[in-house]
A and B are shown apart, each in its own frame.
Chain A
C-alpha cells in the first residue's frame, strides 16, 4: 500500500469526476422527478402508488425472479465452463475463450431473432423433442418466460464465464491440489477454497449478469411477445407510449436499487465465505 494521498487522488479523481458530471448528476436530476409532487415538494407517493398496483407487483416479482434464476444458473454453468477452459492447453484455451466471447460480438437483436427460429414450432428444439419422443405435438416455447430465460442466459453467460476465467487463472495453482491432499472432497474444495479465491470474479460476473437481465429490453420484448411484461418493457411503455416520465423514473429507480442490492448481496456471500476460511 502506497500512502501518498495526493498522488492517489490525482490518479482516481479524473475518472470519478467524469462519471459524476457526465452521468451521475443528469441521472440523479431525472430520478428526482419521481420524488416530486405537483407543487414542488418531496413525496414518495409515486412509489406507494406503484407498489399498490397488482400488475406492477407481478411484473416486479417476475423481473426479480428471472434475474435471480439467470444469475444463479449462469454462475453454475459459468464455474463448470471456466474450470474446463482453464484446464486446457494455452493454445486451445485461447480458441475456446474466443468462442465463448463470440456471441458478445453479435447484435443482441439478431441473436434474439435467431431464437425465434430455434425455439419455434418447426424449430430445431421442437424437431429434436419430437424425434426423441419427448413430446408428440410441438411445444409452445416461444413467447413465454422460458424463452426469455433462454434468451437472457445466452446473452449474459459469456460475461460470467470470462469473469470467472480471469478469477480462476489468478488463483494460486497449488490451492486445489493442496486442499485435495488435505482430504477435502470436491464440494468442500469448491466451497472453501475456490469460491473465496474467485469471489471477485463471481461478484463482477454476477452483477453484470443480474443487472443485464434486469435492464435488457430487446430480449423480453421479442421473446416474451409482450405477454410477459418485465420492468424494463413496462418502463419503455411509460416513456414511449404514455409519455409518463415520472412513472419511468420510478421504475428506473427501482431497477437501480435492485442492482445495488444484488451487488451488495453478492459481496456479502463472497466475504462471508472468506471469513470462514480465514478463521478455519
Chain B
C-alpha cells in the first residue's frame, strides 16, 4: 500500500508541476500587476484590445499596492511582473529598494498629453501617473454641516463618524488635512493623531475597507467619513442626503502610477502597454465608465461623468498631496504613534 501511496503522490505532483510550464513558450507574454478595481471593465477597455494590437498574451495579477510590492520584493532576483500600477509612495519605496528602472518617456506618444503633475510625480523619472483622486468628506447634509476637516471631531458629530485607519490609503491624507485645520501640520502628524485619539471612544470605527462605509451609512451607524472620490458613486446612490464636502482647508488625495520592474525581459512591450493605457482613447473610456479619473488632459467627458470623478487641471492642481518622500519616511512613525494614541 505504501508504494501505491507514494506513487500516486508523485504522479499528482508531476502533473501539477508540468501544468506550470508555459503552454506556448514562443508566444510573447506581458505580466502586469494592478489594483483589483473593476477588472471586468479593464479587460474590456484595456486588456483585450491591447492583446489584439500586440499579438501577445497579457497576464494580470491583482491585489492591493503594498501586498503586491512585498511580492515584487520577494521575487527581486527573478522578476515575474513587468509593469505594476501602485500608489505614488509605493513607487518611491520600490525605487529606493532598487526594484524598478527609469521610464524611457521618449517612447511614450501619450506622455506630452498628461497633466504636469502626472508626468513625474516623484521627481525621479521612475513613475508616470495614470489616475489621481481627491479625498474629502462624504457626509449626511441633513444631520450636520462640514466646513472644515476639524468639524468632524466636534463633540456633537464625533460619535457619528468613521475615520480611516492610518494603515489605509486615505488615513494619512485625512490626518494631514486635519493637522492643517488644527494649525498643527508637522510631517509626523502628531497633532492630528492626538486630536483623533482624544475622540477615539466617540468615533464609531477606524475603517480599513472603504466599501464597508456604504453599509454603515445605510444603517445610520455613521453620518460622515473621509473617503476617496473613487468610492463616491455608491454613496450617491444610497437614496440618502449625502454630500461631498468642500472644506476650507481644501481637499487632499492621491495618485496612482505605473512603474517598470528592473530586470524585466519585456521592456518594449511594457512601454507599449503603458502608452496604450495613457492614450486619450483608453483614458476617455475608463473615465466614461467612472473607473479612473483621467491623467490625460485631452480627455473630454460630460458634466455628469465629471461630477463623479476628480476631473480637470484646476482640480488636479488644487489637491494637497502628501509628498511621497514624507509619506515613506514617516509611515512607520505614523503607525507607531497612531497605535499608541488610538489603538490602545
| CB within 8 Å of B: which A62-77 residues | none
Q: Which of B204-243 contact A (CB under 8 A)?
A: 204-209, 212, 215-216, 219-221
Residues in chain A near residue B167, CB distance under 8 A: 226, 237, 240-241
Which of A10, A11, A227, A240 counts the most B-chain CB atoms under 10 A from its CB? A227
**Complex: A244 Cα to B67 Cα, angstroms:** 13
Q: Is the CB of B51 closer than 8 A to any CB of chain A?
A: no
The answer to whether B208 and A222 touch across the interface, beta carbons within 8 angstroms, is yes
Asked if residues A239 and B2 are in contact (CB atoms below 8 Å), the reply is no
Return B255 CB to nearest CB of chain A, in Å.
Answer: 19
The proximity string for A residues 167-211 relative to B, scoring 1 for CB distances below 8 Å and 0 otherwise, is 000000000000000000000000000000000000000000000
User: Chain A, 141-160, contact with B by CB distance < 8 Å: what is the 0/1 string?
Assistant: 01100000000000000000
When distances are taken between beta carbons in the complex, the residues of chain A under 8 Å from B162 are 225
CB distance from A252 to the nearest CB of B (A): 15
Contact status B208-A221, CB under 8 Å: yes
Residue among B70, B203, B204, B339 facing the most chain A CB atoms (10 A cut-off):
B339
B140 contacts across to A, CB distance below 8 A: none
A55 with B343: CB separation less than 8 A: yes
Mark the stretch among A85-93, A118-126, A259-267, A270-278 that contacts chain B: A118-126
- Shortest B184–chain A CB gap in Å is 22
Q: What residues of A have a CB within 8 angstroms of the CB of B331 in the complex? A: 241-242
Within 8 A of A (CB), among B144-199: 162, 165-167
The reply to whether B340 and A240 contact each other, CB–CB distance below 8 Å, is no
A226 to B166, CA, bound (A): 10
A55-B337 Cα distance, complex, nearest whole Å: 10
Partner of B215 from the list A113, A234, A242, A244 (CB cut-off 8 Å) is: A113
- Check: B66 CB closer than 8 A to any chain A CB: yes
Q: From residue 270 to 290 of chain B, which have CB atoms closer than 8 A to chain A? A: none
Which of A113, A142, A239, A241 is within 8 Å of B221, CB to CB?
Answer: A142
Residues of A within 8 A of B2 (CB): 10-11
User: CA of A13 to CA of B208 in the docked complex: distance in angstroms?
Assistant: 44
B338, chain A: closest CB distance, angstroms: 9
Q: How far is the CB of A123 from chain B (nearest CB, A)?
A: 7
Separation of A54 and B339 alpha carbons in the complex (Å): 11
B305 within 8 A of A: no
CA distance A209 to B339 in the complex (A): 27
Determine whether A116 belongs to the interface, using a CB cutoff of 8 Å to chain B. Answer: yes
Tell me whether A225 and B206 are in contact (CB under 8 A). Answer: yes
For the complex, would chain B's binding face be called helix, strand, loop or mixed by DSSP majority?
mixed
Interface assignment of A243: CB less than 8 Å from any CB of chain B:
yes
Chain B residues contacting A221 (CB-CB under 8 Å) are 208
Contacts of B221 in A (CB 8 A): 120-121, 142
Asked if A38 is at the interface of the complex by the 8 Å CB criterion, the answer is no
**B102 CB, nearest partner CB in chain A, Å:** 23
A27 shortest CB reach to chain B, Å: 15
* CB pair A116 B215 closer than 8 Å: yes
CB contact under 8 A between A55 and B204, given known A241-B66, A241-B167, A244-B332: no
- Report the Cα distance A242→B335, complex, angstroms: 8
A227-245 to B contact mask, C-beta < 8 Å, 1/0:
1010000100101111110
In the complex, what distance in Å separates the CA atom of A116 from the CA atom of B222?
Answer: 13
Does A40 make an interface contact (CB < 8 A)?
no
Q: Which residues of B contact A225 (CB under 8 A)?
A: 162, 204-207
| A14 at the B interface (CB under 8 A) | yes
Is B335 a contact partner of A241 (Cβ separation < 8 A)?
yes
| B70 contacts A239, C-beta separation under 8 Å | yes
- In the complex, A58 Cα to B5 Cα: how many Å? 49
Which of chain B's residues has its CB closest to A56's CB?
Answer: B339
B70 A240 Cβ-Cβ under 8 A: yes
**Minimum C-beta distance from A206 to chain B (A):** 29
Interface of chain B residues 295 through 344 with chain A (CB within 8 A): 331-332, 335, 339-340, 342-344
Q: Tell whether A99 is near chain B: CB-to-CB under 8 Å.
A: no
User: Does A240 lie within 8 Å of B5, measured CB to CB?
Assistant: no
- Chain A residue nearest to B206 (CB atoms) is A226
**Is A117's CB within 8 Å of the partner chain B?**
yes
Residues of B within 8 A of A113 (CB): 212, 215
With A10-B2, A14-B5, A121-B221 as contacts: A227 and B342 at CB distance below 8 Å: yes
Annotate A105-130 by CB proximity to B: 1 below 8 A, 0 otherwise.
Answer: 00000000100110011110000000
Minimum CB–CB distance for B214 against chain A, Å: 11
Q: What's the nearest-Cβ distance from chain A to residue B44, in Å?
A: 27
Contact A226 B219 (CB under 8 A): no
Does B262 have its Cβ within 8 Å of any Cβ on chain A? no
Chain A residues near B220 (CB-CB < 8 A): 121-122
**Cβ-defined contact, A240 with B219, below 8 A:** no
Q: Which residues of B contact A244 (CB under 8 A)?
A: 332
CA distance A58 to B339 in the complex (A): 11
Task: Please name 18 further chain A to chain B contacts, defined as beta carbons within 8 Å, in addition to the given A143-B205, A225-B162, sorted by A numbering.
Answer: A11-B2, A14-B9, A55-B344, A59-B343, A113-B215, A116-B212, A117-B219, A120-B221, A121-B221, A143-B204, A226-B205, A226-B206, A227-B206, A229-B339, A240-B70, A241-B166, A243-B66, A243-B70
Nearest 9 pairs between A and B by C-beta?
Answer: A225-B205, A226-B206, A226-B165, A229-B343, A143-B205, A241-B167, A242-B332, A120-B219, A240-B66
Binding site for A on B (CB under 8 A): 2, 5-6, 9, 64, 66-67, 70, 93, 162, 165-167, 200, 203-209, 212, 215-216, 219-221, 331-332, 335, 339-340, 342-344
- Could you list 23 examples of A-B contacts with CB < 8 Å? A14-B9, A55-B339, A113-B212, A116-B216, A116-B219, A121-B219, A143-B204, A143-B205, A222-B209, A222-B212, A225-B205, A225-B206, A225-B207, A226-B208, A227-B203, A227-B205, A237-B167, A237-B339, A240-B66, A240-B67, A241-B66, A242-B331, A243-B66
